Structure 1
């Protein structure tokens, strides 16, 4: 990391949470919740990870890495960890995740240890864990489950692995038996990977139909194919992360013909945001969902009730 980036990170650590922009956005989100009669939001797709790992992720976006798909992607909430957690609280998010993921073997165990510690010192965070197809994966996933992990993150695109890998088969079975949801980035957006797309996941689900997969980003850009999997498997859900926003609609628009299917699956669509790694204000994700005009009951379910029921919060 060069001196400019180090200086930027240091500056972020001293940025006050309650600045004018944050207060205005929090007020706007509060009005959104009041319109729906919601006490709070639950966001199943937020990123907290070791600071040096997160800074590498930010650098990847800053330098327009290959998986960013050639997009300009400024990080809106480039702040220190404790400030980011406090900001979510200020926004009325009462439960969130620490989505973290390995890009190579040998990372998952120490990431899981960090995530367990983070959940222990961050009451609003759902204890999150991750995995990678490697020898010993079933063992450390079982250990994470026994330690209280409530949600897992799998990133097929970044990890560049096949979810059908035989090393993962027993692990998928373990998670299906435990009923623990897995937020999985398996769609081909913003850039395709060797194993992204609905095909590999469909074959995993054929073997493990009770696996509680939460397809990240509504499966973009293969929206309709992943909706089909949710229609076929009752434990498959989708999160809204970046879907329907102005940013995403410019390059991976959601097909209007499929909107009635999203409405019909209203009990299995969950709010996700990708905070803090988003190129627009948090409130815009909420506005993008509201302007779909699917009704207040659908919005209440997506922004709170579905996740509250799934995680028992």
Structure 2
């Protein structure tokens, strides 16, 4: 079965795999003012990353939602994350509004180490937030910061998945890496964590966490693509682990902030050669379960 070479080929590809759609856990929708700043940052990627990063889907929110649906997404996350104190609650309020006006949205939330984090995470959960996002490198904080412990407890008890970017690629941060994430899991072993980008930069160390902790998953965001292979190729010695972790691996894409067509992420996963059953789990079953999509089965 040939992988999709264009976005228009995705629906037929999903039919051939016999799955009802895509369960992509790593999709970004943001307040327009914030998204403009994110895109400005990527426009200067040669300064930050030493390479160009052209945004492939620089469209209006309405058009981006249409594209997600055309790809086959059955639920659309709106992952957002703060880079300084005082932003997280505002973003959670925006995410609640997004979930109200977008019927197929996944109600998302975020958090930051600050004195009132327990209060606004509790409020977000009470409003229906289910999928949370944290970005250790952008936020410049430690996931095991003392201020976060009450919020971690709330999220562990709720079972809400948290997509956390803690790997050191494409650029490292003071707090990136697996050890501080392990410290969180040692204290809250039932947490449902989704390691963004497979933990790019420390693939094996984050795979260790997925093997050791029942609710730790890995998302595929940008993994195996031609773009990422230029600076963080999946090691040959790692591939067998990724194949074996099929029930812990979840589709992620970073849409819309990717420098290539969405179909290329699916092509990259297909060409790993792990087989149709692995692809069914990764593209649909695991993400549908984590995001509570009704047709997960």
Shared fold (TM-score greater than 0.5)? Answer: yes
Aligned to 1:53: 34
Aligned partner of 1:160 in structure 2 is: 140
Structure number with higher relative contact order (C-alpha < 8 Å, ≥ 6 residues apart): 2
8 Å CA contact 1:102, 1:130 repeated in 2: yes
Match of 1:246 in 2: 226
Q: What's the offset of the Cα at 1:135?
A: 0.9
Deviation string for 1:19-58 (max 9, x for gaps)? xxxxx94431112212211121111001101001000000
Instruction: Work out which of the residue numbers 213, 225, 248 in structure 2 matches 1:233.
Output: 213
Counterpart of 1:42 in structure 2 is 23
Aligned to 2:289: 309
Aligned length: 289
The counterpart of 1:80, out of the listed 60, 66, 76, is: 60
- Aligned partner of 2:79 in structure 1 is 99
1:18 aligned partner: none
- Once the 2 structures are TM-superposed, how far is the Cα of residue 259 of structure 1 from its aligned partner? 1.1
What is the CA-CA distance between 1:309 and the residue it aligns to? 1.8
* Residue 42 of structure 2 is aligned to residue 64 of structure 1: no
Please give the alpha-carbon distance, in whole angstroms, between the structure 1 residues aligned to 2:76 and 2:277.
21
Deviation by residue 1:61-104 (Cα, 9 ceiling, x = unmatched): 101276x4222100000000111011111111111211101100
Partner of 1:180: 160
Measure the CA separation in 1 of the matches of 2:258 and 2:159: 30
> For residues 256 and 143 of structure 2, what CA distance do their matches in structure 1 show?
26
| Whole-angstrom distance in 2 between the partners of 1:280 and 1:140 | 36
How many Å separate the matches in 2 of 1:61 and 1:102? 17
In structure 2, the gaps of 5 or more residues are: none
* Alpha-carbon separation, structure 2, partners of 1:260 and 1:168: 35
Shift of 1:170: 1.1
Where in structure 1 are there 5+ consecutive unaligned residues?
1-23
> Deviation per CA, 1:196-229, whole angstroms, max 9, x where unpaired?
0011101111111111100000000100110011
| 8 Å contact from structure 1 (residues 38, 300) kept in 2 | yes
The equivalent position to 1:261 in structure 2, one of 241, 253, 275, is: 241
SS at match of 2:247: coil
Task: Describe the SS at the equivalent of 1:184.
Answer: strand
After TM superposition, the score normalised by the length of structure 1 is 0.90
CA distance in 2, matches of 1:43, 1:312: 12
Q: Which residue of 1 aligns with 2:172?
A: 192
Q: Distance in 2 between matches of 1:147 and 1:134?
A: 21
CA distance in structure 2 between the aligned counterparts of 1:151 and 1:287, rounded to whole angstroms: 26
Distance 2:59 2:32 in 1: 10
- Contact kept? 2:6, 2:264, Cα under 8 Å: no
Which residue number in structure 2 is paired with residue 20 of structure 1? none
2:254 corresponds to which residue? 274
Name the SS of the counterpart of 2:50 in structure 1: coil
What's the CA shift string for 1:242-292, capped at 9, x where partnerless? 001010011111111111111111011000000000000000000000001
Q: 1:221 to 1:149 in 2, by over 3 A?
A: same
SS of 2:114 mapped into structure 1: coil
